[in-house]
């Protein structure tokens, strides 16, 4: 269906009437989107906070869950019952837009507009991040070409290049071929933009000064004696910050029902920390009674990192969490294949419920009150809904069947009221998965055993030595950012439900010194995805009148 309402409001009017933002504090990009000014962002700091609602989900399946759709529907529903809600979401990456997942602006009547713009180039933030990242890459090779005064060991340059596209052919490349005029030949590769440390820095920085301080600390390589070389030593920080200046400002758009939404940043939760920017989340908290945000993929990835990385860094405290599930996805976790998920199958639903239960247990262990949102689909039966209500109710968790996809805000009223009730006591102290002073290896072990249900973790001697070196170099107090498959609690994407007793193998360790966390790459997950056999790009087109089709 079309994502554009019959008459979306001009963004300057919506900002004025719904948020009290003067046109002078907006930088419009056309009529339907505008960036918030730095002056406004600074002025908002003194306002009191609303309540933060985190939307997360069960482990993703091909049957679909609808986390973004539910985030938008919930905010629409909150506004419908008289609350003032503002959405804070990530910007979609072109990787999944042209790959397998498609767009990320919601669906049905719970969608952001202008959908085409948001899913494609939007306001150019991802391009700015890629340029800043690749400028640093170019400065590294240029420095080596002109004498290598910093003493780079060309075998130990850790800074790759990025592009916002799934392209497996770029995972491993050789640069500098073609003779002495073209630099020094060396092996490197590309990651997707959402895996860039610059993306993580932009999403965690609280302003330009903090952005520059973090960019300066990026470790790009090492000298022959193992000493790190940082971006500041290459004179890169000022130019990178200049490229990122406008990208630091969140972009205001709206839902089909006129709910304000700040879209900013876009790290994936399976290979990065999976949350929109701290700046956008804080701004939404200042502008509304409720800020509704989401964390990527299942709660074992996005929500864990939201708490252990983003909340830790920014001092954020959610008042409640919403866990999104569909009957069809739970049946898939219970062993039913996608072609059969529309058939009633109470046995499969029962077998799939442990996935939802474990996510709820994890979130409540963080200290978060929970509400389960059953994202209703037309083929759900009364018996299946009744089973879900009974089993989740036994845990003392409210369950609401939400029909926002079909009915918009009216279909999310019950969910909105349940969330208001759950959040009424206000934020409670968070309990993290690990303590700051725990060793890095123990932090990874805590995530694997407490969140994933694993029996332990393992790695080869080289990886263990890297972890021990990072610990010795003073990075042991930093959070751990796990990169692994989103489809399972394990590192095997075929293990559905809630597997336990598995071993999580750490394949690679990367230091993100500017983002101030350590990345543990597990299993076979790639920081440069590939396209599927039939990519979503095949369905996208533009007609003679300039209308884009095939974006979902």
Short-list 524, 496, 530, CA closest to 508: 524
Provide the CA 540 distance to its chain's centre, in angstroms. 24
**What's the rounded mean pLDDT across residues 482-488?**
96
How far is residue 496's CA from residue 491's CA, in Å, rounded to a whole number? 11
Q: Is the separation of the CB atoms in 143 and 149 below 8 Å?
A: yes
- In this structure, the number of other CB atoms found within 10 A of the CB of residue 434 comes to 18
pLDDT of residue 400: 97
Q: Burial, 155: exposed, middle or buried (Cβ in 10 Å; 0-12, 13-18, 19+)?
A: exposed
Rounded to 10°, the helix 237-244/208-216 angle is 140
Specify if 180 maps to a domain: yes
**pTM of this structure:** 0.95
Structure-token pair, residue 415: 């969910």
Helices (H), 195-326: 197-204, 208-216, 237-244, 278-287, 304-305, 312-314
Same domain, 236 and 171: yes
Same domain, 111 and 131: no
Q: Is the separation of the CB atoms in 503 and 458 below 8 Å?
A: yes
Q: Cis before residue 114, ω within 30 degrees of 0?
A: yes
**Residue 5 scores a pLDDT above 50:** no
Same domain, 406 and 484: no
**Domain limit, last residue, from 179, 213, 243:** 243
Please report which confidence band the pLDDT of residue 268 belongs to, taking 50, 70 and 90 as the band edges: confident
**Residue 102 scores a pLDDT above 80:** no
How far is residue 381's CA from residue 513's CA, in Å, rounded to a whole number? 50
**Residue given tokens 């010194």 in the structure block:** 513
How far is residue 299's CA from residue 325's CA, in Å, rounded to a whole number? 11
Same domain, 31 and 51: yes
Specify if 433 maps to a domain: no
Lowest mean pLDDT among 72-76, 92-96, 348-352, 474-478: 92-96
Percentage, residues of the chain above pLDDT 90: 95
pLDDT of residue 108: 93
How far is residue 202's CA from residue 278's CA, in Å, rounded to a whole number? 9
Same domain, 216 and 337: no
**What's the rounded mean pLDDT across residues 91-100?**
90
Please report which confidence band the pLDDT of residue 551 belongs to, taking 50, 70 and 90 as the band edges: confident
**What's the rounded mean pLDDT across residues 539-550?**
92
Same domain, 164 and 236: yes
Specify if 98 maps to a domain: yes
Specify if 527 maps to a domain: no
**Residue given tokens 């002109």 in the structure block:** 146
pLDDT of residue 182: 93
Percentage, residues of the chain above pLDDT 70: 99
Query: Residue 507's domain is classified under what CATH number?
Result: 3.10.410.10
- Taking the alpha carbons at both ends of the chain, their separation in whole angstroms is 8
Q: Is the separation of the CB atoms in 198 and 236 below 8 Å?
A: no
Specify if 275 maps to a domain: yes
C-alpha distance from residue 472 to each of 137, 145, 283, 468 (Å): 27, 32, 37, 6
Query: Residue 164's domain is classified under what CATH number?
Result: 3.30.1510.10
Structural domains of the chain, count: 3
Q: Is the separation of the CB atoms in 45 and 226 below 8 Å?
A: no
Mean pLDDT computed over every residue of the chain: 95
pLDDT of residue 269: 84
Short-list 383, 182, 358, CA closest to 174: 182
**Domain limit, last residue, from 196, 221, 243:** 243
Specify if 294 maps to a domain: yes
pLDDT of residue 423: 97
Same domain, 411 and 326: yes
Q: How many CA atoms lie within 13 A of 370 on its CB side?
A: 29
Domain, as residue range, for 507: 440-522
Chain segment 216-245, per-residue pLDDT in tens: 999 999 999 999 999 999 999 999 999 999
Short-list 332, 325, 484, 476, CA closest to 399: 325
**What's the rounded mean pLDDT across residues 260-279?**
94
Task: Report CA Rg, the chain.
Answer: 23
How far is residue 330's CA from residue 348's CA, in Å, rounded to a whole number? 8
**Residue 4 scores a pLDDT above 80:** no
How far is residue 71's CA from residue 46's CA, in Å, rounded to a whole number? 27
Q: Where are the beta strands (DSSP E) in 138-189?
A: 152-157, 161-163, 173-175, 186-188
How far is residue 268's CA from residue 368's CA, in Å, rounded to a whole number? 23
Please report which confidence band the pLDDT of residue 178 belongs to, taking 50, 70 and 90 as the band edges: very high
Rounded to 10°, the helix 125-145/197-204 angle is 130
Chain segment 388-426, per-residue pLDDT in tens: 999 999 999 999 999 999 999 999 999 999 999 999 998
Same domain, 86 and 21: yes
Same domain, 271 and 228: no
Q: Which residues of 182-191 are buried (b: 16+ CB within 10 A; e: fewer)?
A: ebeebebebb
**Residue 3 scores a pLDDT above 60:** no
Specify if 538 maps to a domain: no
CA 419-318-3 angle, to 5 degrees, is 60
Would you give the DSSP letter of residue 275? B
**Residue 181 scores a pLDDT above 70:** yes
Please report which confidence band the pLDDT of residue 103 belongs to, taking 50, 70 and 90 as the band edges: confident
Same domain, 19 and 116: yes
**Domain limit, last residue, from 243, 269, 304:** 243
Same domain, 229 and 331: no
Structure-token pair, residue 2: 């079309």
Specify if 366 maps to a domain: no
Query: Residue 258's domain is classified under what CATH number?
Result: 3.40.50.300
Short-list 66, 78, 75, CA closest to 104: 66
pLDDT of residue 2: 39
Structure-token pair, residue 204: 């965690």
**What's the rounded mean pLDDT across residues 315-328?**
97
Helix, strand, coil % over all residues of the chain, rounded to 5: 40, 20, 40
Residues 6+ apart with CB under 8 A from 501: 453, 454, 455
Same domain, 411 and 306: yes
């Amino acid at each position: 269906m079309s994502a554009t309402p019959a008459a979306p409001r001009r963004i300057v009017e919506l900002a004025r009437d719904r948020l009290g933002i003067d046109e002078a504090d907006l930088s419009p990009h056309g009529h339907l989107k505008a960036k918030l000014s730095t002056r406004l962002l600074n002025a908002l700091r003194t306002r009191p906070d609303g309540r933060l609602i985190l939307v997360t989900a069960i482990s993703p399946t091909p049957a679909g869950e609808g986390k973004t759709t539910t985030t938008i529907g919930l905010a629409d529903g909150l506004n419908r019952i008289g609350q003032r809600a503002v959405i804070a979401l990530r910007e979609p990456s072109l990787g999944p837009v042209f790959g397998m997942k498609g767009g990320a602006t919601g669906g049905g009547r719970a969608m952001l507009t202008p959908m085409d713009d948001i899913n494609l180039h939007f306001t150019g933030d991802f391009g700015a991040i890629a340029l800043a990242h690749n400028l640093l890459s170019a400065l590294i090779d240029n420095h080596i070409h002109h004498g290598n005064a910093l003493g780079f060991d060309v075998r130990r340059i850790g800074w790759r290049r990025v592009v916002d596209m799934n392209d497996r052919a770029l995972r491993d490349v050789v640069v500098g071929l073609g003779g002495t005029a073209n630099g020094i030949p060396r092996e490197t590769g590309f990651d997707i933009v959402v895996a860039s440390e610059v993306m993580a820095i932009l999403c965690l920085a609280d302003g330009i000064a903090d952005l520059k301080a973090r960019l300066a600390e990026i470790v790009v390589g090492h000298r022959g004696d193992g000493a790190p070389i940082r971006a500041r030593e290459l004179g890169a920080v000022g130019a990178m910050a200049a490229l990122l200046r406008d990208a630091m400002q969140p972009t205001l758009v709206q839902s089909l029902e006129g709910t304000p939404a700040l879209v900013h940043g876009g790290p994936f939760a399976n290979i990065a920390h999976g949350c929109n920017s701290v700046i956008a989340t804080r701004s939404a908290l200042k502008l509304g009674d409720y800020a509704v945000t989401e964390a990527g993929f299942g709660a074992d990835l996005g929500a864990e990192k939201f708490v252990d990385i983003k909340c830790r860094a920014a001092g954020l405290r959610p008042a409640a969490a919403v866990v999104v599930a569909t009957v069809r996805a739970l049946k898939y976790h219970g062993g039913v294949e996608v072609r059969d998920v529309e058939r009633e199958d109470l046995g499969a639903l029962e077998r799939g419920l442990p996935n939802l239960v474990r996510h709820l247990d994890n979130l409540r262990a963080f200290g978060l009150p929970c509400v389960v949102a059953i994202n209703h689909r037309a083929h759900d039966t009364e018996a299946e809904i009744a089973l879900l209500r009974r089993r989740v109710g036994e845990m003392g968790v409210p369950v609401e069947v939400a029909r926002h996809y079909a009915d918009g805000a009216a279909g999310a009223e019950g969910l909105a009221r349940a969330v208001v009730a759950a959040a009424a006591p206000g934020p409670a102290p968070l309990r993290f998965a690990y303590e700051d002073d725990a060793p890095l290896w123990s932090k990874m072990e805590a995530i694997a055993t407490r969140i994933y249900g694993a029996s332990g973790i393992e790695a080869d001697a080289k990886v263990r030595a890297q972890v021990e070196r990072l610990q010795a170099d003073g990075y042991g107090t930093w959070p751990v950012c796990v990169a692994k498959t989103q489809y399972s609690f394990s590192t095997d994407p075929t293990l559905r439900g809630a597997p336990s007793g598995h071993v999580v193998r750490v394949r690679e360790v990367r230091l993100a010194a500017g983002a101030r966390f350590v990345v543990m790459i597990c299993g076979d997950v790639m920081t440069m995805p590939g396209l599927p056999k039939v990519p979503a790009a095949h369905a996208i087109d533009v007609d003679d009148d300039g209308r884009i089709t095939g974006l979902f």
